[in-house]
Structure formats: structure tokens, C-alpha cells
Amino acid sequence: MSDPDLAVRAEGLRKRYGDKLALAGLDLTVPAGTVHGLLGPNGAGKTTAVRILGTLLRFDAGRAEVAGFDVARQADQVRLRIGLVGQHAAVDEILSGRQNLAMFGRLYHLPSAVADRRADELLARFGLADTGGKPVGQYSGGMRRRLDLAAGLILAPPVLFLDEPTTGLDPRSRNEVWTAVRALVSAGTTVLLTTQYLEEADQLADQISVIDDGRIVAEGTPDGLKSLLGRDRIDVVLHRADDLPAAAALLGRVTGGPAELDQDNRRVSAPVRDRMAALTEVVRGLDDRGITAEDIALRRPTLDEVFLHLTGTGAGTGTGTDPGAGTDPGVGAGVPTPDPNEREVAL
């Protein structure tokens, strides 16, 4: 099963919580040196998959390897080669950023001098050198998240699991985390990213696996997944809602298919084959009919629309709850119990 070109490989992973089947035969491959997005609605099994791959949770059936080692039989070897950053920052607010990183280094059994040196290196790498001496309680959300990422890299692991790393962050803080993730990958780290932010996956992921009901339902590049919905679309936002029926009829005639109406946003849209010819004809048609448009745009299908098409719900709007999220990790099949003195990063 081992493949040196793959950082993560899972075959037929199954996990049940009582009568709830969290993973129903999950297959996943992540090439080394890439960002792989694992996306799906709430309750789809994303966090359960990450906990299993991070050796923090037992699985009922299947096989999994991370960094070339079997997750169940060689858990100690896996833990030496991974970092795991969970949904909530696991840093001490009273300690300074530097003290936090040095403390985690000591938990990894690094000599004191080595832990201190590694802390300084990571503070500089994540743009926190100037604030490393301040208590973390004074950090912004983005700074805390970057510090949490740094803590997951004390041993410079070749594989990093990021479980919804920007949940609750404002757009500026989210961009800071994205920049840090890109820097990690450029230095050779493989990242498995779970997220409910579709823009995040679009920005970061080389490949995306869409998970629903515990199994992968689609895989590909962001552009490849968007192409599942076929043609580009033309969107027209009108000045007056009363003009929607006439504009819809015009788009239907130009594009050769039914147009979709959005009354609340005064928008009409339809798929197109010849982008520029359709745009020119729509603009002329609107002018001939005296219809004022506030905006006209050609666009590709969005990942939001891909989710609606594949899962029947948006990425963050599902009603289920992943049983693996927010629960105490179990002991993997043949996996040693994690040391209770260790943080959520799998050691």
C-alpha cells in the first residue's frame, strides 16, 4: 500500500458511533507537497477522518497510512511526522508567544536550548518576532491562529492536518493564516485542510475531496469541480424588479435555456455557451427594451453551487453533527493512548 509520492492514503475507512455511521468506506489520497482540501456539510465526517489519520481515534475497518507509516500499527512513527491544529487555538493566554512555543518544544522532549531556538525561528517565520514577548491574551485572532500553526510545527513535520483553521476569524486574520499556510507548503509541508469556507478551499487547495455521509462523492481541482456544472453563466442585476420577467425572457432567448430569477436581489442568470457573443447580445437587448442594468457579469460556477449540486446543501449549512468533532479522542486500533500532558497536536 505504501507509496513514497503520497503523504496520506486511506482505503475503506469506516467509523461508527452507536447507530451513526460517521465514515462509510472513505478513500483518500494526498500527494506529498500539496494542499488537499476536505470539504463537506456539517456532520459529513471531516473531523472524524482527521482524528483517525492523526492517530487520535480508532477506526472500525479499512487501512490508512500517513508519511508512509500505518496509522494503526505504527502510530508512534506517524506522530513523529505530523502536526495537528484543531478548530480552537490551543495556546496559553497568560504566557507569551515565545514561552508557549518553548513550552511545546519541551513537551516534544527537545532540550531547553533547542526548544528556545526553535521558538525564535518559528516566531520569525510566522511574522510574530516583534510580539513574541507579549502575553497571548493581547494577540489578535489572526496572531493567535498563526501562533497555533507555529506550535504544530515544532518538529517541522512533513504532514500537517488543519481542521477548520480560520473558523471565527475576520477576513484580515483569515488572509494572514492563508499566507502562513502557503509559506508552509512552499517549504515542503503537505497540508490536509478541512474547511467550511469555500473561498478558503478555492484559494489554497491544489485538490479537493468533497465528503458527504462519510464517503467521498467527488474529487478534483477547484476548477475541475466547478466544471461539473458545465457552462459559464451570465448574471444581470437590474435597477427595477419590475423588469425581471422581460430580462429573463431575453436571457432565455439568447442562451437557449431557461433563466433563473432572484427576486430579492433583482438578479437574472442563465448558462451560456459563447461567452462574449451572449454578453454583447444581452447588453444590446436590454438597451433596446429600455431596461437598466446595475451590473452584468460573466462567471464560472462557484464552489457553493458545486456543493448544492453534490450534497444538496452548502458547506456550512448541514444539519448533522460530526460525532468526531468536539469529542474526546479514542484509542486507535492498536494505537497507543495519547499522553494526557500533550496538546491536541499528535506527537
Report the pLDDT value the prediction gives residue 190, as an integer from 0 to 100: 95
Report residues of the chain scoring pLDDT below 50: 317-319, 327-347
Report the pLDDT value the prediction gives residue 319, as an integer from 0 to 100: 46
> For every residue of the chain, which 3-state class applies, written as one string?
CCCCCEEEEEEEEEEEECCEEEEEEEEEEEECCCEEEEECCCCCCHHHHHHHHCCCCCCCEEEEEECCEECCCCHHHHHCCEEEECCCCCCCCCCEHHHHHHHHHHHCCCCHHHHHHHHHHHHHHCCCHHHCCCEHHHCCHHHHHHHHHHHCCCCCCCEEEEECCCCCCCHHHHHHHHHHHHHHHHCCCEEEEEECCHHHHHHHCCEEEEEECCEEEEEECHHHHHHHHCCEEEEEEECCHHHHHHHHHHHHHHHCCCCEEECCCCEEEEEECCHHHHHHHHHHHHHHCCCCEEEEEEECCCHHHHHHHHHCCCCCCCCCCCCCCCCCCCCCCCCCCCCCCCCCCCC
- Which fold, 6-226? Rossmann fold (3.40.50)
**In the chain, which residues fall in CATH 3.40.50.300?**
6-226
Report the pLDDT value the prediction gives residue 256, as an integer from 0 to 100: 83
Report the pLDDT value the prediction gives residue 273, as an integer from 0 to 100: 79
Task: For 52-98, write each residue's pLDDT tens digit.
Answer: 999 999 999 999 999 999 999 999 999 989 988 877 767 889 999 99
CATH 3.30.70.100 fits 231-300, yes or no: yes
pTM of the model: 0.71
Report the pLDDT value the prediction gives residue 229, as an integer from 0 to 100: 62
Report the pLDDT value the prediction gives residue 307, as an integer from 0 to 100: 66
**In the chain, which residues fall in CATH 3.30.70.100?**
231-300
Task: For 23-57, write each residue's pLDDT tens digit.
Answer: 999 999 999 999 999 988 878 888 899 999 999 99
